[in-house]
Structure 1
Amino acid sequence: MRQRNKPWADDFLRENTHLVIPNPSEYKNKWKELFGNDNPIHVEVGTGKGQFIVGMAKQYPNINFIGIELSKSVIVTAAEKVQESGQSNILLIQENAENLTDIFMENEVSTIYLNFSDPWPKNRHAKRRLTFHTFLKRYEATLAYNGELIFKTDNRGLFEYSLVSFSEYGMLLKEISLDLHKDHDPENVMTEYEEKFSAKGQPIYRCKAVFQEE
Protein backbone atom coordinates (compact mmCIF):
# COMPACT_ATOMS: atom_id res chain seq x y z
CA MET A 1 0.00 0.00 0.00
CA ARG A 2 1.36 3.41 -0.97
CA GLN A 3 1.90 5.62 2.05
CA ARG A 4 0.64 9.18 2.09
CA ASN A 5 3.43 11.75 2.13
CA LYS A 6 3.88 13.58 5.44
CA PRO A 7 5.34 17.06 4.82
CA TRP A 8 6.23 17.36 8.50
CA ALA A 9 8.27 14.13 8.58
CA ASP A 10 11.70 15.74 8.08
CA ASP A 11 11.13 18.24 10.87
CA PHE A 12 9.90 15.47 13.17
CA LEU A 13 12.98 13.35 12.51
CA ARG A 14 15.31 16.30 13.13
CA GLU A 15 13.58 17.03 16.44
CA ASN A 16 13.48 13.43 17.64
CA THR A 17 16.94 12.00 17.08
CA HIS A 18 16.60 10.31 20.49
CA LEU A 19 13.84 8.12 18.98
CA VAL A 20 14.92 7.71 15.34
CA ILE A 21 18.69 7.42 15.41
CA PRO A 22 20.54 9.21 12.58
CA ASN A 23 23.77 7.69 11.26
CA PRO A 24 23.12 4.30 12.91
CA SER A 25 26.39 2.80 11.64
CA GLU A 26 28.16 5.00 14.20
CA TYR A 27 26.63 2.86 16.95
CA LYS A 28 27.78 -0.50 15.63
CA ASN A 29 28.76 -2.56 18.69
CA LYS A 30 27.67 0.38 20.89
CA TRP A 31 23.88 -0.07 21.01
CA LYS A 32 23.86 -1.25 24.61
CA GLU A 33 25.78 1.90 25.56
CA LEU A 34 23.10 3.97 23.85
CA PHE A 35 20.36 2.16 25.79
CA GLY A 36 22.41 2.53 28.95
CA ASN A 37 22.17 -1.10 30.01
CA ASP A 38 23.41 -4.59 29.17
CA ASN A 39 20.03 -6.07 28.21
CA PRO A 40 19.67 -8.27 25.11
CA ILE A 41 18.90 -6.56 21.80
CA HIS A 42 15.97 -7.65 19.63
CA VAL A 43 15.58 -6.21 16.13
CA GLU A 44 12.43 -5.95 14.02
CA VAL A 45 13.25 -5.66 10.32
CA GLY A 46 10.40 -3.76 8.67
CA THR A 47 8.82 -2.31 11.80
CA GLY A 48 5.92 -0.63 9.99
CA LYS A 49 3.74 1.66 12.10
CA GLY A 50 5.16 0.38 15.36
CA GLN A 51 2.34 -1.52 17.04
CA PHE A 52 4.34 -4.74 17.40
CA ILE A 53 7.55 -3.22 18.72
CA VAL A 54 5.72 -1.03 21.24
CA GLY A 55 3.68 -4.00 22.43
CA MET A 56 6.79 -6.14 22.77
CA ALA A 57 8.67 -3.41 24.64
CA LYS A 58 5.83 -3.15 27.16
CA GLN A 59 5.66 -6.92 27.56
CA TYR A 60 9.43 -7.34 27.91
CA PRO A 61 10.86 -4.27 29.69
CA ASN A 62 14.24 -5.98 30.20
CA ILE A 63 14.86 -6.32 26.47
CA ASN A 64 16.10 -3.52 24.19
CA PHE A 65 14.13 -3.29 20.95
CA ILE A 66 15.33 -1.68 17.72
CA GLY A 67 12.95 -1.21 14.81
CA ILE A 68 14.25 -0.81 11.25
CA GLU A 69 12.00 0.80 8.65
CA LEU A 70 12.99 2.32 5.33
CA SER A 71 9.88 4.43 4.64
CA LYS A 72 10.10 7.90 6.16
CA SER A 73 6.33 8.38 6.23
CA VAL A 74 5.89 5.08 8.06
CA ILE A 75 8.70 5.38 10.59
CA VAL A 76 7.45 8.75 11.85
CA THR A 77 4.13 7.07 12.68
CA ALA A 78 6.03 4.38 14.57
CA ALA A 79 8.05 7.05 16.37
CA GLU A 80 4.86 8.78 17.47
CA LYS A 81 3.65 5.49 18.96
CA VAL A 82 6.96 5.04 20.77
CA GLN A 83 6.75 8.60 22.06
CA GLU A 84 3.19 8.10 23.32
CA SER A 85 4.11 4.81 25.00
CA GLY A 86 6.85 6.34 27.11
CA GLN A 87 8.91 3.16 26.69
CA SER A 88 12.64 3.76 27.11
CA ASN A 89 13.63 0.37 25.66
CA ILE A 90 12.83 1.18 22.01
CA LEU A 91 14.94 2.87 19.34
CA LEU A 92 14.14 3.23 15.64
CA ILE A 93 16.31 3.37 12.54
CA GLN A 94 15.35 4.61 9.07
CA GLU A 95 17.49 2.27 7.03
CA ASN A 96 17.49 -0.47 4.39
CA ALA A 97 17.76 -4.03 5.72
CA GLU A 98 20.51 -4.61 3.16
CA ASN A 99 22.75 -2.52 5.42
CA LEU A 100 22.19 -4.61 8.55
CA THR A 101 25.84 -5.63 8.91
CA ASP A 102 26.89 -1.97 8.74
CA ILE A 103 24.71 -1.29 11.78
CA PHE A 104 25.25 -4.31 14.01
CA MET A 105 28.38 -6.19 14.99
CA GLU A 106 28.66 -9.97 14.96
CA ASN A 107 26.78 -11.48 17.94
CA GLU A 108 25.26 -8.10 18.86
CA VAL A 109 21.61 -9.13 18.30
CA SER A 110 19.74 -11.85 20.21
CA THR A 111 16.54 -12.09 18.13
CA ILE A 112 15.37 -10.82 14.73
CA TYR A 113 11.67 -10.45 13.83
CA LEU A 114 10.32 -10.42 10.29
CA ASN A 115 6.64 -9.48 10.40
CA PHE A 116 4.41 -9.46 7.32
CA SER A 117 7.22 -8.67 4.93
CA ASP A 118 6.47 -7.78 1.31
CA PRO A 119 6.00 -11.16 -0.45
CA TRP A 120 7.39 -9.99 -3.81
CA PRO A 121 5.37 -12.75 -5.54
CA LYS A 122 7.05 -12.63 -8.95
CA ASN A 123 9.96 -15.04 -9.30
CA ARG A 124 12.22 -12.38 -10.77
CA HIS A 125 11.85 -10.41 -7.52
CA ALA A 126 12.77 -13.32 -5.22
CA LYS A 127 16.05 -11.69 -4.20
CA ARG A 128 14.08 -8.81 -2.66
CA ARG A 129 12.29 -11.10 -0.20
CA LEU A 130 13.58 -10.68 3.33
CA THR A 131 13.94 -14.46 3.62
CA PHE A 132 16.14 -14.75 0.49
CA HIS A 133 19.52 -16.31 1.22
CA THR A 134 21.45 -13.04 0.92
CA PHE A 135 19.35 -11.56 3.72
CA LEU A 136 19.74 -14.73 5.78
CA LYS A 137 23.50 -14.27 5.51
CA ARG A 138 23.15 -10.78 7.00
CA TYR A 139 20.98 -12.04 9.86
CA GLU A 140 23.46 -14.83 10.60
CA ALA A 141 26.29 -12.30 10.72
CA THR A 142 24.59 -10.25 13.45
CA LEU A 143 22.77 -12.85 15.56
CA ALA A 144 24.38 -14.29 18.68
CA TYR A 145 24.81 -18.04 19.12
CA ASN A 146 21.35 -19.67 19.33
CA GLY A 147 19.73 -16.33 18.46
CA GLU A 148 16.29 -16.75 16.90
CA LEU A 149 14.82 -15.55 13.63
CA ILE A 150 11.04 -15.26 14.08
CA PHE A 151 8.99 -14.89 10.92
CA LYS A 152 5.25 -14.16 10.68
CA THR A 153 3.10 -13.72 7.59
CA ASP A 154 -0.41 -14.19 6.25
CA ASN A 155 0.98 -15.15 2.83
CA ARG A 156 1.13 -18.93 2.49
CA GLY A 157 3.25 -18.76 -0.67
CA LEU A 158 5.87 -16.62 1.06
CA PHE A 159 5.74 -18.86 4.13
CA GLU A 160 6.35 -22.02 2.11
CA TYR A 161 9.14 -20.31 0.16
CA SER A 162 10.73 -19.13 3.42
CA LEU A 163 10.65 -22.57 5.05
CA VAL A 164 12.51 -23.95 2.03
CA SER A 165 14.93 -21.01 2.10
CA PHE A 166 15.65 -21.53 5.81
CA SER A 167 16.17 -25.28 5.32
CA GLU A 168 18.41 -24.90 2.28
CA TYR A 169 20.53 -22.41 4.19
CA GLY A 170 21.02 -25.02 6.90
CA MET A 171 18.87 -23.40 9.59
CA LEU A 172 17.13 -25.43 12.28
CA LEU A 173 13.35 -24.95 12.27
CA LYS A 174 12.38 -24.89 15.95
CA GLU A 175 8.69 -24.12 15.67
CA ILE A 176 6.19 -23.96 12.80
CA SER A 177 2.61 -22.78 13.18
CA LEU A 178 0.15 -22.91 10.29
CA ASP A 179 -2.53 -21.08 12.27
CA LEU A 180 -0.94 -19.06 15.05
CA HIS A 181 -4.16 -17.70 16.55
CA LYS A 182 -5.81 -21.12 16.57
CA ASP A 183 -2.75 -22.36 18.47
CA HIS A 184 -3.46 -19.64 21.09
CA ASP A 185 0.04 -18.41 21.93
CA PRO A 186 -0.64 -16.12 24.94
CA GLU A 187 2.63 -14.23 24.42
CA ASN A 188 1.96 -13.32 20.78
CA VAL A 189 1.91 -9.57 20.09
CA MET A 190 0.00 -8.62 16.95
CA THR A 191 1.00 -6.15 14.26
CA GLU A 192 -1.49 -3.86 12.53
CA TYR A 193 -1.60 -6.19 9.52
CA GLU A 194 -2.03 -9.22 11.74
CA GLU A 195 -5.10 -7.73 13.41
CA LYS A 196 -6.58 -6.87 10.03
CA PHE A 197 -5.99 -10.26 8.42
CA SER A 198 -6.94 -12.40 11.42
CA ALA A 199 -10.19 -10.44 11.81
CA LYS A 200 -11.05 -11.66 8.32
CA GLY A 201 -10.42 -15.23 9.37
CA GLN A 202 -7.13 -15.61 7.53
CA PRO A 203 -4.61 -17.94 9.19
CA ILE A 204 -1.36 -16.41 10.42
CA TYR A 205 1.79 -18.44 9.81
CA ARG A 206 4.84 -18.31 12.08
CA CYS A 207 8.22 -19.97 12.11
CA LYS A 208 11.04 -19.78 14.65
CA ALA A 209 14.43 -20.77 13.30
CA VAL A 210 18.07 -20.66 14.36
CA PHE A 211 21.36 -20.76 12.50
CA GLN A 212 23.41 -23.84 13.24
CA GLU A 213 27.09 -23.81 14.04
CA GLU A 214 29.23 -25.48 11.38
Structure 2
Amino acid sequence: MRLRKKYWARPEMEISNIVITDQYEYKGKWNEEFKNNNPIHLELGCGMGGFISEKSTQNLDINFVGIDLKDEVLVFALRKVIEVRGIQDKQDINLNVRLMPLNISFIDDVFEKDEISRIYINFCNPWPKGRHNKRRLTHVKFLTNYKKFLKLGSEVWFKTDDTELFEHSVEYFKTCGFEILYSTHDLHNSGFEENVVTEYEAKFHAIGKKAMFLRAKLIVEN
Protein backbone atom coordinates (compact mmCIF):
# COMPACT_ATOMS: atom_id res chain seq x y z
CA MET A 1 0.00 0.00 0.00
CA ARG A 2 1.37 3.40 -1.02
CA LEU A 3 1.35 5.96 1.78
CA ARG A 4 0.29 9.53 1.17
CA LYS A 5 3.13 11.92 1.91
CA LYS A 6 2.79 13.63 5.29
CA TYR A 7 5.02 16.69 5.16
CA TRP A 8 4.44 17.41 8.85
CA ALA A 9 5.80 14.02 9.95
CA ARG A 10 9.54 14.75 9.81
CA PRO A 11 9.31 18.14 11.62
CA GLU A 12 7.24 16.49 14.37
CA MET A 13 9.85 13.77 14.78
CA GLU A 14 12.78 16.16 14.71
CA ILE A 15 11.61 18.04 17.80
CA SER A 16 11.66 14.81 19.80
CA ASN A 17 14.88 13.45 21.27
CA ILE A 18 13.35 9.98 21.09
CA VAL A 19 13.82 10.02 17.30
CA ILE A 20 17.29 9.70 15.79
CA THR A 21 17.64 11.23 12.32
CA ASP A 22 21.47 11.39 12.10
CA GLN A 23 21.71 7.62 12.47
CA TYR A 24 25.21 7.09 11.10
CA GLU A 25 26.74 9.22 13.84
CA TYR A 26 25.72 6.71 16.52
CA LYS A 27 27.60 3.60 15.43
CA GLY A 28 29.42 2.27 18.48
CA LYS A 29 27.90 5.00 20.65
CA TRP A 30 24.42 3.68 21.47
CA ASN A 31 25.20 3.03 25.14
CA GLU A 32 26.32 6.65 25.36
CA GLU A 33 23.01 7.75 23.86
CA PHE A 34 21.05 5.73 26.44
CA LYS A 35 23.50 6.75 29.20
CA ASN A 36 23.83 3.19 30.51
CA ASN A 37 25.27 -0.20 29.60
CA ASN A 38 21.96 -2.08 29.45
CA PRO A 39 21.41 -4.54 26.58
CA ILE A 40 20.01 -3.07 23.40
CA HIS A 41 17.15 -4.79 21.56
CA LEU A 42 16.29 -3.87 17.99
CA GLU A 43 12.90 -4.03 16.25
CA LEU A 44 13.11 -4.08 12.47
CA GLY A 45 9.97 -2.58 10.99
CA CYS A 46 8.37 -1.14 14.12
CA GLY A 47 5.25 0.03 12.27
CA MET A 48 2.81 2.00 14.39
CA GLY A 49 4.82 1.39 17.57
CA GLY A 50 2.53 -0.87 19.59
CA PHE A 51 5.11 -3.62 20.06
CA ILE A 52 8.08 -1.46 21.03
CA SER A 53 5.92 0.68 23.34
CA GLU A 54 4.80 -2.38 25.31
CA LYS A 55 8.19 -4.11 25.29
CA SER A 56 10.03 -1.04 26.54
CA THR A 57 7.44 -0.59 29.29
CA GLN A 58 7.73 -4.19 30.45
CA ASN A 59 11.56 -4.18 30.36
CA LEU A 60 12.92 -0.98 31.84
CA ASP A 61 16.38 -2.52 32.21
CA ILE A 62 16.67 -3.01 28.44
CA ASN A 63 17.12 -0.34 25.75
CA PHE A 64 15.06 -0.56 22.57
CA VAL A 65 15.62 0.85 19.08
CA GLY A 66 12.78 0.74 16.55
CA ILE A 67 13.38 1.16 12.84
CA ASP A 68 10.99 1.84 9.98
CA LEU A 69 11.49 3.20 6.50
CA LYS A 70 8.72 5.78 6.22
CA ASP A 71 8.29 8.97 8.23
CA GLU A 72 4.56 8.57 7.63
CA VAL A 73 4.62 5.39 9.73
CA LEU A 74 7.30 6.27 12.25
CA VAL A 75 5.57 9.45 13.39
CA PHE A 76 2.68 7.33 14.66
CA ALA A 77 5.14 5.04 16.45
CA LEU A 78 6.48 8.14 18.18
CA ARG A 79 2.98 9.16 19.23
CA LYS A 80 2.31 5.63 20.49
CA VAL A 81 5.45 5.63 22.64
CA ILE A 82 4.47 9.02 24.06
CA GLU A 83 0.96 7.74 24.82
CA VAL A 84 1.92 4.39 26.36
CA ARG A 85 4.83 5.73 28.36
CA GLY A 86 2.94 8.80 29.56
CA ILE A 87 5.57 11.24 28.36
CA GLN A 88 4.75 14.90 28.95
CA ASP A 89 7.86 16.37 27.31
CA LYS A 90 8.54 15.29 23.71
CA GLN A 91 12.20 16.10 24.31
CA ASP A 92 12.49 13.64 27.21
CA ILE A 93 15.68 11.62 26.65
CA ASN A 94 15.52 9.66 29.90
CA LEU A 95 13.67 6.86 28.19
CA ASN A 96 14.77 3.36 27.16
CA VAL A 97 13.47 3.63 23.59
CA ARG A 98 14.64 5.36 20.42
CA LEU A 99 13.13 5.41 16.94
CA MET A 100 14.77 6.09 13.61
CA PRO A 101 13.93 6.17 9.90
CA LEU A 102 16.23 3.83 7.99
CA ASN A 103 16.41 1.56 4.98
CA ILE A 104 17.33 -1.71 6.68
CA SER A 105 19.76 -2.52 3.85
CA PHE A 106 22.13 0.00 5.47
CA ILE A 107 21.71 -1.20 9.04
CA ASP A 108 25.28 -2.44 9.50
CA ASP A 109 26.41 1.18 9.06
CA VAL A 110 24.45 2.17 12.17
CA PHE A 111 25.49 -0.46 14.74
CA GLU A 112 28.94 -1.66 15.81
CA LYS A 113 30.09 -5.23 16.46
CA ASP A 114 28.37 -6.77 19.53
CA GLU A 115 26.22 -3.68 20.04
CA ILE A 116 22.84 -5.46 19.75
CA SER A 117 21.61 -8.25 22.06
CA ARG A 118 18.34 -9.21 20.35
CA ILE A 119 16.43 -8.53 17.14
CA TYR A 120 12.65 -8.64 16.67
CA ILE A 121 11.15 -9.07 13.19
CA ASN A 122 7.35 -8.91 13.27
CA PHE A 123 5.23 -9.64 10.19
CA CYS A 124 7.64 -8.32 7.59
CA ASN A 125 6.79 -8.27 3.88
CA PRO A 126 6.93 -11.92 2.69
CA TRP A 127 8.10 -11.00 -0.84
CA PRO A 128 6.57 -14.19 -2.30
CA LYS A 129 7.94 -13.89 -5.84
CA GLY A 130 11.19 -15.79 -6.26
CA ARG A 131 13.03 -12.85 -7.80
CA HIS A 132 12.18 -10.77 -4.72
CA ASN A 133 13.14 -13.30 -2.02
CA LYS A 134 16.41 -11.50 -1.24
CA ARG A 135 14.35 -8.57 0.08
CA ARG A 136 13.00 -10.68 2.94
CA LEU A 137 14.31 -9.43 6.30
CA THR A 138 15.11 -13.03 7.26
CA HIS A 139 16.98 -13.83 4.06
CA VAL A 140 20.61 -14.96 4.35
CA LYS A 141 21.63 -11.62 2.79
CA PHE A 142 20.13 -9.71 5.72
CA LEU A 143 21.08 -12.24 8.40
CA THR A 144 24.71 -11.91 7.32
CA ASN A 145 24.46 -8.16 7.91
CA TYR A 146 22.83 -8.62 11.32
CA LYS A 147 25.70 -10.88 12.41
CA LYS A 148 28.05 -7.92 12.05
CA PHE A 149 26.54 -6.28 15.14
CA LEU A 150 24.56 -9.03 16.92
CA LYS A 151 26.32 -10.57 19.92
CA LEU A 152 27.22 -14.25 19.70
CA GLY A 153 24.62 -16.22 21.65
CA SER A 154 21.95 -13.56 21.13
CA GLU A 155 18.59 -14.26 19.52
CA VAL A 156 16.35 -13.18 16.67
CA TRP A 157 12.60 -13.44 17.41
CA PHE A 158 10.56 -13.75 14.23
CA LYS A 159 6.77 -13.70 13.69
CA THR A 160 4.80 -14.06 10.49
CA ASP A 161 1.45 -15.26 9.18
CA ASP A 162 2.97 -16.45 5.89
CA THR A 163 3.71 -20.19 5.90
CA GLU A 164 6.12 -20.15 2.96
CA LEU A 165 8.12 -17.29 4.45
CA PHE A 166 8.25 -19.05 7.81
CA GLU A 167 9.46 -22.35 6.39
CA HIS A 168 12.04 -20.68 4.17
CA SER A 169 13.21 -18.55 7.09
CA VAL A 170 13.91 -21.62 9.20
CA GLU A 171 16.34 -22.71 6.50
CA TYR A 172 17.81 -19.22 6.15
CA PHE A 173 18.61 -19.16 9.87
CA LYS A 174 20.20 -22.61 9.84
CA THR A 175 22.27 -21.75 6.77
CA CYS A 176 23.53 -18.58 8.39
CA GLY A 177 24.79 -20.04 11.69
CA PHE A 178 21.70 -19.82 13.88
CA GLU A 179 20.15 -22.56 16.00
CA ILE A 180 16.35 -22.75 16.16
CA LEU A 181 15.54 -22.76 19.88
CA TYR A 182 11.77 -22.61 19.61
CA SER A 183 9.27 -22.84 16.77
CA THR A 184 5.48 -22.92 16.52
CA HIS A 185 2.92 -22.64 13.74
CA ASP A 186 0.24 -21.45 16.17
CA LEU A 187 1.72 -18.88 18.51
CA HIS A 188 -1.46 -17.87 20.31
CA ASN A 189 -2.24 -21.46 21.30
CA SER A 190 1.35 -22.48 22.01
CA GLY A 191 1.56 -21.40 25.64
CA PHE A 192 4.41 -18.97 24.88
CA GLU A 193 3.92 -16.24 27.47
CA GLU A 194 6.31 -13.49 26.35
CA ASN A 195 4.44 -12.54 23.20
CA VAL A 196 3.45 -8.91 22.69
CA VAL A 197 0.70 -8.63 20.10
CA THR A 198 1.28 -6.14 17.28
CA GLU A 199 -1.48 -4.10 15.67
CA TYR A 200 -1.32 -6.26 12.53
CA GLU A 201 -1.33 -9.44 14.60
CA ALA A 202 -4.42 -8.43 16.58
CA LYS A 203 -6.33 -7.62 13.40
CA PHE A 204 -5.68 -10.97 11.75
CA HIS A 205 -5.96 -13.05 14.91
CA ALA A 206 -9.50 -11.68 15.26
CA ILE A 207 -10.46 -13.34 11.96
CA GLY A 208 -8.83 -16.64 12.86
CA LYS A 209 -5.51 -16.28 11.06
CA LYS A 210 -2.62 -18.02 12.86
CA ALA A 211 0.74 -16.47 13.68
CA MET A 212 3.94 -18.47 13.37
CA PHE A 213 6.90 -17.74 15.60
CA LEU A 214 10.49 -18.81 16.15
CA ARG A 215 13.49 -17.94 18.28
CA ALA A 216 16.85 -18.35 16.58
CA LYS A 217 20.16 -18.18 18.49
CA LEU A 218 23.36 -17.01 16.85
CA ILE A 219 25.96 -19.75 17.36
CA VAL A 220 28.43 -19.09 14.51
CA GLU A 221 30.17 -15.76 13.95
CA ASN A 222 31.00 -14.41 10.49
| Number of aligned positions between the proteins | 213
Alpha-carbon distance in structure 1 between the residues aligned to 2:122 and 2:218:
19
Q: Deviation of residue 169 (structure 1)?
A: 2.0
Alpha-carbon distance in structure 1 between the residues aligned to 2:62 and 2:177:
28
1:125 alignment partner in structure 2: 132
Query: What is the TM-score when the length of structure 1 is the normalising length?
Result: 0.95
- Alignment of 1:80 onto 2:76: no
Q: Deviation of residue 185 (structure 1)?
A: 2.0
* Paired residues of 2:178 and 2:220 also in contact (CA < 8 A): no
Q: Point out where structure 2 has 5 or more consecutive residues left out of the alignment.
A: 88-94
- Alignment of 1:153 onto 2:165: no
- 2:32 partner SS: helix
Alpha-carbon distance in structure 1 between the residues aligned to 2:192 and 2:45:
22
Q: Deviation of residue 199 (structure 1)?
A: 1.0
For 2:70, the aligned partner's letter is S
Alignment of 1:108-123 (within 5 A): 108-123=115-130
Q: Point out where structure 1 has 5 or more consecutive residues left out of the alignment.
A: none
- Answer with 167-176 or 38-47: which moved more: 167-176
Alpha-carbon distance in structure 1 between the residues aligned to 2:22 and 2:169:
31
- 1:181 partner SS: helix
Q: Deviation of residue 29 (structure 1)?
A: 1.1
Alpha-carbon distance in structure 1 between the residues aligned to 2:133 and 2:19:
29
> Please, what is the CA RMSD of the aligned residues?
1.3
- 1:193 partner SS: helix
Q: Deviation of residue 211 (structure 1)?
A: 1.9
Identity of aligned residues (%): 43
Alpha-carbon distance in structure 1 between the residues aligned to 2:145 and 2:43:
14
- 2:188 partner SS: coil
Cα deviation digits, residues 94-120 of structure 1 (max 9, x gap): 001111111100100000011000001
Alpha-carbon distance in structure 2 between the residues aligned to 1:108 and 1:49:
25
